[in-house]
Amino acid sequence: MTIQDVEKYVGLLIEKVVAFLPNLIGAILAIVIGLWLIKLITNKIRKIMEKREVDIAIRDFSISIINIGLKILLFIIVITKLGFETTSFAAIIGAAGLAVGLALQGSLSNFAGGVLIILLKPFRIGDWVDAQGVSGTVDQISLFYTHLITFNNQRAVIPNGELSNNKVINYSSEKQRKDAITVRISYDSDIKKAREVLMDLMLNNENISKETKPQVFVSELAESSVNLSIRFWADLPVFWDAHFQIMADIKGTLEEAGIRIPLPQRHVMIHNQEDTDSDK
């Protein structure tokens, strides 16, 4: 290859670069301005939703969808600015989308599950739920995953597909919760008196609802005890206060009334082998 050929190819390369430079600059400007506009639009939508007090899960989910959609549109605009034909590019995107869709079936299931959770609202952000063997407060509902903060302040990330297709217990959906506590008393204790003492204990607890009368009844005649079951309702914010206070007061109150709480007992009989042999 001669020097003239090299100069010729360099000249052609420079011409191509110069011809392509406006498209490249336009694409860069489109990216910069587009990202700025997307941020501006999503922030504006967020403020409008916050002003109208839209549910935080719906707000975050909607903004994520809008953000992704606008960025896909921006990508198409940039590709067009660079001189690619949109028709052929659309065919490539379609084929790639099909391949990615087949490869990411689980992710698509999670996305569909996220949509169902947002629409049906089996739980909201801030609710205490039990799902997939994990209990915690719902902290975030994203496109593909739901984040729970457990009692030990650990973050559990659960796929939305599994949440939408399996059992979820929402402890925060109702205004009140019902508690059931088993109390064991000895067989020689006065059952009627024990029931009266436990009933008074619940009626005098300010955190226990009086709209629905508490209950005390014999639930089981066990091997070494008579089991009483106490049932009461409490408003959600004070439910655990009522539960722990009743648990703390039961023992002392029953003992003051002369009612004994038995310990598990087992009778062991020792058979004397020597006596048995002598009898023979």
CATH number assigned to the domain comprising residue 137: 2.30.30.60
Q: Which domain holds residue 140?
A: 122-170
Whether residue 196 is found in the same domain as residue 244 = yes
Q: Which residue has the higher pLDDT, 105 or 144?
A: 144
What's the whole-number mean pLDDT along residues 240-253? 92
Whether residue 190 is found in the same domain as residue 135 = no
As for how many domains the chain has, the answer is: 3
172-to-124, 137, 138 alpha-carbon distances in Å: 9, 10, 11
3-state secondary structure of 151: coil
Which pLDDT band holds residue 239 (cuts at 50, 70, 90)? very high
Residue 276 above 60 pLDDT?
Answer: no
Alpha carbon distance 89, 98 (integer Å): 14
Whether residue 89 is found in the same domain as residue 150 = no
Residue 221 above 70 pLDDT?
Answer: yes
Whether residue 164 is found in the same domain as residue 180 = no
Flag whether the pTM goes above 0.85.
Answer: no
Whether residue 155 is found in the same domain as residue 181 = no
What's the whole-number mean pLDDT along residues 240-265? 87
Half-sphere exposure of 131 (CA within 13 A, CB side): 29
Whether residue 137 is found in the same domain as residue 156 = yes
Which pLDDT band holds residue 277 (cuts at 50, 70, 90)? low
Which pLDDT band holds residue 8 (cuts at 50, 70, 90)? low
Whether residue 186 is found in the same domain as residue 128 = no
Residues contacting residue 167 through CB under 8 Å, at least 6 positions apart:
131
Buried b (16+ CB within 10 A) or exposed e, 41-66: ebeebbeebeeeeeeebbbbbbbeee
Whether residue 99 is found in the same domain as residue 7 = yes
In this prediction, what percent of the chain has a pLDDT beyond 90? 32
**Domain contains 117:** no
**Domain contains 114:** no
pLDDT of 163-189, one tens digit each? Answer: 888 899 999 888 999 999 999 999 888
The pair of structure tokens assigned to 76 is 């198409």
Alpha carbon distance 62, 44 (integer Å): 13
For 257, phi and psi rounded to 5 degrees?
Answer: -85, 5
Looking at residue 53, its amino acid is E
Q: How many CB atoms lie within 10 A of CB 194?
A: 24
- What was the pLDDT predicted at 279? 57
Nearest to 189 by CA among 259, 262, 264, 261: 259
Q: Which residue has the higher pLDDT, 222 or 103?
A: 222
pLDDT of 107-154, one tens digit each? Answer: 778 888 888 888 888 898 889 999 988 999 999 888 888 999 999 999
Q: How many CB atoms lie within 10 A of CB 246?
A: 23
Whether residue 164 is found in the same domain as residue 186 = no
Which pLDDT band holds residue 103 (cuts at 50, 70, 90)? very low
**Domain contains 112:** no
**Domain contains 276:** no
What is the biggest distance separating any 2 CA atoms in the chain, rounded to whole angstroms?
A: 127
Whether residue 134 is found in the same domain as residue 75 = no
**Domain contains 263:** no
Which pLDDT band holds residue 210 (cuts at 50, 70, 90)? confident
The pair of structure tokens assigned to 245 is 């206070």
**Domain contains 32:** yes
Lowest pLDDT segment from 11-15, 56-60, 153-157, 238-242: 11-15
